[in-house]
Amino acid sequence: MIIRMGILGLGAVAQAVHLPLLAKRPDLYDIAAVCDLSPEVTGVIGSRYGVARRFHHLTDMLDAGGLDAVMILSRGSHAAAVQAIFARGLPVFCEKPLAYTTGEVDELIEGDHPAILLGYMKQYDPAVIEAARLLADVDDIRSIEATVLHPTGASQLAFARVAGPSTPLPPQVQAEMDAEDLVLRRAAVGEADESLWRAYRGALVSSLAHDLSIMRSFDSPPATVDFADMWRQSSRHARRDVGRDRKSFGDHPPSISATGILAAGGRFTLAWHYLPDFPAYRETVRVVHGRGTVELTFPSPYLLHAPTELVVTTLDGDAERRVVRRSVTEAFETQLEAFHAMVRDGVEPRSGLAAGRADILDCQRIVAAYAARTGTPVGGEVARHLERAL
């Protein structure tokens, strides 16, 4: 079965990752239609991949028919797009973020709906899969420690030569997007200041959620969030400008930390640092248990086939045994194979709506813990976590 895929959103992740991999797998996919708000970008990408059917609105692409599934790669919350695609009976590949609020997800969960796979590609990384296998029999995970060191998006994507629009979006289109953003902001965090909203939607729901998905892969999700902090620091040695990352993380992107208790009783520590001048993206996850450690080191996600390093440390007699594993099998491509299996054979994805909701809930708990400790005013869904804690 060749899946005729419609692509919604033709930005950086589409151009650097998904479109090249879809084109690489004609045995599984046909890029049947592309859709983006920018006519210029739609034209460039349509020509690059030989796609004649080009659209600027999701409704128009769906009305045209001829699709077996839709891949959502656009900006912002994807809940409304998922709902529209579900209404046409089509399965969905949905990149993060699925949504910014649990209320959005609850509306999607209600009733029967087509299949959906959430784009947590690290769950399909061979290193994560092997780590999960090794940890399946471990009954005493003491701690999971995850740290993300995030340089500028521009520095990570310079090699990809991403095609962008040469002119801004029409004012009416931008105004509609801003209005939708404001509604979701109020629903999620109330009238909290812009910097907190950006940290929530950009750093937590859209980035650190990957580490929550890894914890779920290890059957060790958070049970509580006991402490959280967000802070910002400047350096007179700074060289790189934040650039377009302001849209995601705010004018002065933060550092974030959170700690709490795992469902199985151990502890977790999450740390996320925006470091404009850091040389390269780096993400580490370390699992400590009674007989050793399992450690993962992830490269930039945009470098296809760059291996994640898995280091397993155990006792071998009276000596330390360290096994290092690297594989160039691409997690994004394995994820596309999993989506194909879901559509064709009904194979369950590693993350669907319920998993996405759980991750949003955990991100809200982090914001609530920070707000409770610092006295920062919040509203919306985050405020409910504060009320339950009182």
CATH at residue 93 = 3.40.50.720
Range of the domain at 202: 122-389
Helix residue ranges per DSSP H, 315-352: 331-345
The CATH number of residue 308's host domain is 3.30.360.10
The token duo for 277 is 């001048």
Asked if residue 193 lies in contact with residue 377, where contact means CB atoms within 8 angstroms, the answer is: no
Q: What is the pLDDT of residue 91?
A: 99
Beta carbons of 114 and 89 less than 8 angstroms apart: yes
Q: Do 208 and 322 belong together in one domain?
A: yes
The token duo for 12 is: 């950086």
Q: Does 13 share its domain with 111?
A: yes
d(CA 85, CA 79): 10
Q: How many domains does the chain have?
A: 2
Q: Which residues of the chain have pLDDT under 70?
A: 389-390
In terms of Cα–Cα distance, which of 269, 382, 301 is closest to 18?
301
Looking at residue 244, the DSSP 8-state letter turns out to be T
Contact 230, 372 (CB under 8 A): no
User: Do residues 56 and 136 share a domain?
Assistant: no
- From 104, 119, 134, the end of a domain falls on 119
Q: Are residues 225 and 110 in the same domain?
A: no
CA dist 79 and 100 (Å) reads 9
Q: Give pLDDT, residue 130.
A: 99
Residue 106 and residue 141 in one domain:
no
Whether 100 and 127 share a structural domain? no
What does pLDDT average to over the chain?
Answer: 96
End-to-end Cα spacing for the chain = 54
Q: Which residues are bridge partners to 52 per DSSP?
A: none
Domain's final residue, options 99, 119, 139: 119
Boundary residue ending a domain (119, 134, 163): 119
Dmax over CA atoms of the chain, in Å, equals 70
Residues 127 and 180 both lie in one domain: yes
Instruction: State residue 327 phi and psi, 5-degree precision.
Output: -140, 140
| Distance of alpha carbon 191 from alpha carbon 270, whole angstroms | 26
Instruction: Answer for the pair 294, 135: CB distance below 8 angstroms, yes or no.
Output: yes
Cα gap 375→377, rounded to integer Å: 6
Domain identity same for 233 and 158: yes
Assess whether 187 and 81 both reside in one domain: no
State how far the Cα of 113 lies from the Cα of 44, in Å rounded to an integer: 34
Q: Could you tell me how far CA 234 lies from the centroid of its own chain?
A: 27
133 lies in the same domain as 115: no
Residues 67 and 203 occupy one common structural domain: no
Separation between Cα atoms, residue 105 and residue 108, nearest integer Å: 5
Which residue spans within the chain are E strands per DSSP? 3-8, 29-35, 54-55, 69-72, 92-94, 116-118, 141-150, 222-231, 255-262, 267-274, 282-289, 292-298, 309-316, 319-326
**Alpha carbons within 13 A on the beta-carbon side of 210:** 26
Query: Residue 389: its pLDDT value, please?
Result: 57
97 preceded by a cis bond (ω within 30 of 0) = yes
Is the same domain home to 108 and 131? Answer: no
Residue 299 CA to residue 84 CA, distance in Å, equals: 35
